[in-house]
Amino acid sequence: MQGLVLRAVSGFFTVRVDAAEGGHTLTCKLRGKLKKERQKSELAVAGDRVEVERTSETEGVIDEVLERRSWIVRREPGPRGKHFDDLVVANVDVLVICGAATAPPLQPGLVDRFLVAAELGHVHGMLAVTKRDALADDAPEAATLRETIATYRRIGVPVIETSAKTGL
């Protein structure tokens, strides 16, 4: 049966099996053969579609990780200038990057890193600027924020501005 990995912690995977199979969750481990085959990459992460064999009412074993259509990786520095890509999540549709308008101010460098990670993993990225009401339109920081938002929109990044106070 097929399922979706909801969580991966210390070699245990919470997998929601398809609705046709009851739509409940199983706690699963990877089949030993699969661990050997995939030693040089992440075995399974949240978002992966998997083939599961039930071993009891609440447990199962993952037989196969199905092809990923998108992913987010975190690049880790490694020895001698090499890097290791740590797979964080798979089969993502949209990465919404949230940053505050102020307190703390939006950090374009950090937003750029997330947008690059999204693009490399075939994920659509977008920016949500929160606390928009907390920055007065005539404040000097507001002009900088407007320029930054305009730049992201110009390169095709969808941007939404939000405020919990005003409902924006």
- pLDDT tens digits for range 63-104: 999 999 999 998 887 788 788 788 999 999 999 999 999 989
Q: How far apart are CA 165 and CA 44, in angstroms?
A: 40
What is the predicted pLDDT for the residue at 53?
95
3-state secondary structure of 18: coil
Residue 21: is its pLDDT beyond 70?
A: no
**Measured distance CA(138)–CA(145) in Å, rounded:** 11
Question: What is the pLDDT confidence band of residue 166, given thresholds at 50, 70 and 90?
Answer: confident
62 touches 30 (CB < 8 A): yes
Overall average pLDDT of the 129-140 stretch: 90
pLDDT of residue 137: 86
The SS3 call for residue 159 is: strand
